[in-house]
Structure 1
Amino acid sequence: MNKVPLTTHGAELLRAELHNLKTVERPEVIAAIAEARSHGDLSENAEYDAAKERQSFVEGRIAEVEYKLSNAQIIDPMDLDAEGRCVFGATVDLEDLESSETVTYQIVGDDEADLKKGKISIGSPIARALIGKFAGDVAEVQAPGGVREYEVLDVKYI
């Protein structure tokens, strides 16, 4: 049984998704199946097939989210005391040494990752390269276009 790392915010998002799946999505699918059944012959009923497929997806997602929550290792970034080291949950300011562009990323779990919001997955190449680094260190990231170097400017636990 693998632990699933989540920030407190990520756990809240998964709980909200689970609640929505159980209280909104599941009843809607059940109603759609009942409606499609009322149309008669199920062998040539595309609505019924689509509703059953949707039900399968919803039930699978419920099982997946329940598994992740039951095996979650919830980490509150504000409770971390990693002495300035890049760890899961840390927010890191970086400078691309080639372009001098600065970016800020928070290292989060796979389900929370959203590059547009500055959240990168713990399993991403850049996060793996950053883990254990301190401000002032240089991280080498194997990118599709070759090796990129980033200087860690600051590490925060927010």
Structure 2
Amino acid sequence: MSRGFVKEEDQEEVPMVPPRADLPEGAINYVTQVGMDELLDERERLTTERDQLEAINEKEKRITTNYINAKLQLLNNRILTAKIVDLSTQPQDEVRFGAQVTLKIGSDKKLQKYQIVGVDEADISKGKISFLSPIARLLTDKQVGEIAVLKLAKEDRSFEIIKIEYPYI
């Protein structure tokens, strides 16, 4: 039967699912063990939410289930493509993936601390930046005492590396 003969109220809404953090085509999906654990926890939460879903009516339940399933599909793809980086194997004297870097930014007296993590783990409010971010790329392979300069439109910003740590949590 043609869709033209279906009642409007019987048509399913296609759920709009926000995309996950951007991972460019061909980029390896690096994650820390903490990041992988967070992805697995998120999958568990979504699965539990879907399985315990209570809705006012069947249509609402179906739409919500489809939305959660779409989110799970994106999440499962990230989990399947994730490559866990063992931080204990990283060169301890260089900034690499997983490093927690203490920086002196410009002339600011206050030191800043950032960890370079996977795209799904990145959260600037927690001091975690994506390994694909311009600052992470700028700092990669640098050592304590080196200064990396980020060229901005109006000024250059310098990042002096004060300390490099690899949390094994």
Q: Quickly name the TM-score band, shorter chain normalised.
A: 0.7 to 0.9
User: Which AA in structure 2 matches 1:84?
Assistant: D
Quick check: 1:59 aligned with 2:69?
A: yes
TM-score normalised to the size of structure 1?
Answer: 0.79
Post-superposition shift, 1:14?
A: 0.5
Structure 1 distance, partners of 2:153, 2:67, is: 33
8 Å contact from structure 2 (residues 145, 161) kept in 1: yes
8 Å contact from structure 1 (residues 92, 152) kept in 2: yes
Quick check: 1:26 aligned with 2:50?
A: yes
Post-superposition shift, 1:141?
A: 2.2
Count of residues in correspondence between the two structures:
142
Quick check: 1:121 aligned with 2:145?
A: no
Matched residue, 1:80 = 89
Label 1:2 to 1:125 Cα distance change in 2 as closer, same or farther (>3 A): closer
- 2:57 alignment partner, SS class: helix
Q: Which has the higher helix share?
A: 1
8 Å contact from structure 2 (residues 131, 137) kept in 1: yes
Matched residue, 1:43 = none
Gaps of 5+ in 1: 38-47
8 Å contact from structure 2 (residues 119, 130) kept in 1: yes
Instruction: Map Cα deviations across residues 114-153 of structure 1 (whole Å, 9 max, x no partner).
Output: 1121111112121111111111111112457642111011
Label 1:144 to 1:118 Cα distance change in 2 as closer, same or farther (>3 A): farther
Label 1:142 to 1:60 Cα distance change in 2 as closer, same or farther (>3 A): farther
Post-superposition shift, 1:83?
A: 4.3
Label 1:58 to 1:95 Cα distance change in 2 as closer, same or farther (>3 A): same
RMSD in angstroms over aligned alpha carbons?
Answer: 2.1
Post-superposition shift, 1:53?
A: 4.3
Post-superposition shift, 1:3?
A: 3.0
The equivalent position to 1:36 in structure 2, one of 31, 35, 57, is 57
User: Which AA in structure 1 matches 2:95?
Assistant: C
Quick check: 1:112 aligned with 2:121?
A: yes
TM-score normalised to the size of structure 2?
Answer: 0.74
Q: Which has the higher strand share?
A: 1
